[in-house]
Chains A and B, each alone.
Chain A
């Protein structure tokens, strides 16, 4: 029974995710679909590399002058009538949000999808002052009802099937809802509509903030971000400090890259630029708008030649869909707010905590697919190598990982070559999945740190297995060793009668 954070390493979490057949299939299906969508959309658009380069240059330029552009943004947003706040830490951002909610005597806050609020665990904090935070993005709403965390940046409920969703929504409805998508969506539409109209505060994230006009820009498909920023009387927008771009002219490039990379759409159904609260005579839009600009570890990347480009990320999720490891184990295994290759680098970078987090970096094959997919060309695969090196340098590497480091050193120069020989898809996943049984109980709080994880198998055997995966990746083996396969099969059979895992 270990409720202890450091005990829940990514390897254990990976095993946990592997236990859920549906999750694995869903993750693979969805990421495949998104990846193909992206591929088609970028090919159809043409000159993709030139657009990527343009995107990269705009992001590089903005981040290199972030101090100037943030000031410019704040000036213009204030001129539009918004209140602009700055928070060095998650705690400060929470404090400002709570102060506003308290002042407004808010009972409910409706939220559209925002990774930053996940980063702050804001819903939980709002709860402590008696404010109910309601996620309104369909997928986020579902996982909020389930008391879980998102497993994918773009499709947070990727790991739930329609029967599970029907159960959750039926409990909410107080009647039995058919597991039919249109019935379920219809219920959510009605239910959340009431919530939008009742809510005291609407809370949004921010995809881009335009420095020259003080506008925030939101990309979405459902319309809930528009709801949240149109209906309640007070709007709070939380943005990572790196979300800035200089102008609407630059937005054309981001609008070209982001939806195509995320879902393969030419543009999301809605793209909204919101410039301040409603004008005096307008009959909708918030009376009062607050924008909270958050550092929370981001500035640590500035001036760091190896990691500064992390701030260029536009949170499209393309690297997740491209990543063979993510496709294999799913988002929850990464343990942080951000999953996949970007999460593997961003989480430890934001935490500045090499010891605790960088085991995530080992859950990557360094194949370079993330870099190829990235619309702003962030060299994530190089960063993963830097992370591992830093861990070894800071004395946190153990023997096993030290050996891994050397092995990786050998193929680093030709890391691209590895793409062609990736073996992970052929590792007999069902087998690996079933033979490590882990019981999972979900606590009242939605942080992975609170999940209690009990590996049934001895740690050593998991290590050995993971080591095999790593070794296979390193050596480019394409088939599972037959003897190994036999052993694993025997283990699987031996375990078959032991009862399953579950959420309990």
Chain B
């Protein structure tokens, strides 16, 4: 161990990686051998890829999607409201912030969320915008926040799930660390099946993937104490989806 500390961290990583790749050879060779071949070869095809074919075309009309999404999300302990536009969404968030005496709000850095004008709507609150200053301790800030405000990238009605994708302006922490999550969902982002969100991830290819793709289907929950449903043991205990449109 002593000589390792003399290495730079990069050198150490390189060394680990070299060993790992070497090990990979024998590890895979063993598997190939057990499967009765000398080296790993691509399969001829993947005949049973994805959901059964009867499922593929299945789609609900928009109104039914909204209804089903809401019912599913509520039965998981979440809340869903529907508003006509961003102004109404802003008013809703402001009203809830007052009702729950929220002081700290963190939101993703997105145009639609900028347009909410939360700073003006909530003069008493401290509203921060994720990563607008890379020098700040963003994770700790999010951990103290009462509200996290995000714009959902997608939602699936059949399971009642939101999908949020990370990037520099969209922290994974914003949908995770605050006590309350407020997620805006423009109706045109609501599809019927999970597969409609998952399959494009394949089609877009690995390079386009963000570090984190998170599906969220309600408030954080646990049933570990005597099967008694406990809400918010780690993630947000209160989750509102604000359907817009």
Asked, given contacts A266-B158, A279-B211, whether A213 binds B206 with beta carbons under 8 Å apart, the answer is: yes
Contact with B along A69-93 (1 / 0, CB 8 A): 0110010100110011111100000
Q: Decide: A302 and B210 in contact? CB cutoff 8 A.
A: no
Contact B211 A139 (CB under 8 A): no
B23 touches A85 (CB 8 A): yes
Does B168 lie within 8 Å of A222, measured CB to CB? no
Quick check: is A268 within 8 A (CB to CB) of the other chain?
Answer: yes
Contact A221:B221 (CB < 8 A) given known A47-B52, A51-B52, A162-B228: yes
Q: Which of A68, A102, A185, A271 contacts B232 (CB 8 A)?
A: A185
Residues B206 and A247 in contact, CB atoms below 8 Å apart: no
Q: Is the CB of A139 within 8 A of B209?
A: no
CB of B206 within 8 A of CB of A266, answer no
Given the contacts A70-B31, A80-B209, A83-B16, A270 and B232 also touching, CB distance less than 8 Å: no
A299→B222 CA distance, assembly (Å): 34
Cβ < 8 Å to B, chain A residues 260-290: 263, 265-279, 281-285, 288
CB pair A250 B216 closer than 8 Å: no
- Report the minimal beta-carbon distance from B142 to chain A, rounded to whole angstroms: 8
Residues of B with C-beta under 8 A to A58: 48-49
* CA gap between A33 and B223 in the complex, in Å: 11
Which residues 28-60 of B sit at the A interface, judged by CB distance below 8 A? 28, 30-32, 34-37, 39-43, 46-52, 54
B43 pairs with A252, CB closer than 8 A: no
**Closest CB-CB distance, B167 to chain A, in whole Å?**
7
Interchain CB contact under 8 A, A302 and B34: yes
Are A212 and B202 in contact, with the CB atoms below 8 A? yes
Complex CA distance for A57 and B30, rounded to whole angstroms = 23
Cβ-defined contact, B48 with A57, below 8 A: yes
Most buried by A among B20, B24, B26, B202: B20
**In the bound complex, how far is the Cα of B142 from the Cα of A123, in angstroms?**
29
Min C-beta distance of B69 to chain A, whole Å: 11
**Chain A CB within 8 A of B225 CB:** yes
A329 interface contact, C-beta 8 A: no
Q: Interface stretch among A189-197, A389-397, A412-420, A474-482? A: A189-197
- Per the bound structure, the CA–CA distance linking A272 and B35 in Å amounts to 31
A297 within 8 A of B: no
Q: What is the CB-to-nearest-CB distance from B98 to chain A, in angstroms, rounded to a whole number?
A: 24
Q: Name the residue of chain B whose CB is nearest to the CB of A100.
A: B16
- Whether A248 contacts B201 by the Cβ 8 Å rule is yes
B235 adjacent to A299 (CB under 8 Å): no
Contact A299 B34 (CB under 8 A): yes
List, in ascending order, chain A residues with CB within 8 A of B131's CB: 281-283
* A83 with B159: CB separation less than 8 A: no
Which of A102, A161, A223, A249 counts the most B-chain CB atoms under 10 A from its CB? Answer: A223
A302 to B37, CA, bound (A): 12
Whether B88 is near chain A, meaning CB under 8 Å from some CB there, is no
**In the assembled complex, A26 has its CB within 8 A of some CB on chain B:** yes
On whether the beta carbons of A85 and B139 are closer than 8 Å, the reply is: no
**Is A68's CB under 8 angstroms from B211's CB?**
no
A185 touches B226 (CB 8 A): no
**For residue A256, which residues in chain B have a CB less than 8 angstroms away from its CB?**
51, 194
Q: A67-B31, A249-B49, A249-B199 are in contact. Are A266 and B159 (CB under 8 A)?
A: yes
Contact present for B40 and A193 (CB under 8 Å): no
How many A residues, CB 8 Å from partner? 104
Cβ-based interface call for B72 (8 A): yes
- Whether A212 pairs with B206 at a CB distance below 8 angstroms is yes
Query: What's the least CB distance linking B161 to chain A, in Å?
Result: 5
Contact with A along B226-243 (1 / 0, CB 8 A): 111011111110000000
135-174 of chain B: CB within 8 A of chain A: 138-140, 142-143, 158-161, 166-168, 171-173
How far does the Cβ of A302 sit from chain B's closest Cβ, in whole Å?
Answer: 4
Quick check: B233 and A138 within 8 Å, CB to CB? yes
Complex: how many Å from CA A226 to CA B211?
12
Chain B 1-29 near chain A by CB (<8 Å), digits 1 or 0: 10010000100110011001001101110
Q: Kindly identify, within residues 195 to 231 of chain B, every residue whose CB is under 8 Å from any CB belonging to chain A.
A: 195, 198-199, 201-202, 206, 209-228, 230-231
Q: Are B202 and A283 in contact (CB under 8 A)?
A: no
The minimal Cβ–Cβ distance linking A110 to chain B, given in whole angstroms, is: 11
**In the complex, per-residue mask of B110-137: 1 if CB is within 8 Å of any chain A CB, else 0:** 0000000000000000000011001000
* Closest A residue by C-beta to B201: A248
Query: Chain B's nearest CB lies how many Å from the CB of A54?
Result: 5
Q: How far apart sit A57 and B231, CA to CA, in the bound complex (Å)?
A: 36
A493 at the interface (CB under 8 A from B): no
Q: For the complex, give the distance between the alpha carbons of A286 and B216 in Å.
A: 20
Given A74-B24, A251-B198: A303 and B36 within 8 A (CB)?
yes
Assess whether B51 is in contact with A188, with CB atoms less than 8 Å apart: no
- Alpha-carbon gap, A212 to B142, bound state (A): 33
For B5, the closest partner residue in chain A by CB is A103
A193 CB contacts on chain B under 8 angstroms:
143, 234
Asked if A348 CB lies within 8 Å of chain B CBs, one says no
Q: How far is the CA of A247 from the CA of B131 in the complex (A)?
A: 32
Report whether A86 and B211 are in contact in the complex, using a CB–CB cutoff of 8 Å.
no
Complex Cα spacing A499 to B143, Å: 50
A-B contact list, 25 entries, CB within 8 Å: A51-B51, A66-B35, A67-B39, A87-B23, A99-B16, A100-B16, A139-B222, A181-B230, A193-B234, A215-B209, A221-B221, A223-B234, A248-B198, A249-B49, A252-B199, A255-B194, A266-B72, A267-B160, A269-B221, A273-B201, A273-B214, A274-B212, A275-B210, A283-B130, A283-B171
- Extra 4 A-B pairs, beta carbons < 8 Å, given A138-B225, A184-B230, A271-B217: A68-B42, A138-B233, A222-B234, A273-B212
